Structure 1
């Protein structure tokens, strides 16, 4: 019975750490997109859409900042 408790507790702890890691990554990606919006509400919605698009397209996490910066530049180009 002791081994069962240790195994279950370890499994739950590992799952919780994995879940927390994923949430922090999501929050940091969202914060990156919102920081590029520069306080503009319309651009904020646009950048969140672009973040969702990047996730659907499978943009690698290391390429995400450059991808979002290019999307922000495209927004400025289409705006003016």
Structure 2
């Protein structure tokens, strides 16, 4: 019974660590996208859409900052 408790506790701890790691990465990616919006509400929505698009296209995390910066530069200037 002791081994069962150890295995369950270890598995739960590893899962929680993995889950927390993933959430922190999502939050930092979202913060990066929002920081490129320069406080413009329309551009904020645009950047969140671009972040979702980058995830759907499978953009690697290493390439994400440059990809988002390029997307921010393509934002239509008329709405800014």
Per the normalisation by structure 2, the TM-score is: 0.96
1:33 and 2:59 matched: no
Number of matched residues? 78
Q: Distance in 2 between matches of 1:50 and 1:43?
A: 10
Q: Which runs of 5+ in 2 are unaligned?
A: none
Query: Which segments of structure 1 move beyond 6 Å, counting only runs of 4 or more?
Result: none
Offset from partner CA, 1:51-72 (integer Å, 9 cap, x none): 0000000000000000000000
Q: Which runs of 5+ in 1 are unaligned?
A: none
Per the normalisation by structure 1, the TM-score is: 0.96
RMSD: 0.6
Q: Distance in 1 between matches of 2:26 and 2:53?
A: 14
* Matched residue SS, 1:39: coil
Equivalent position of 2:50 in the other structure:
50
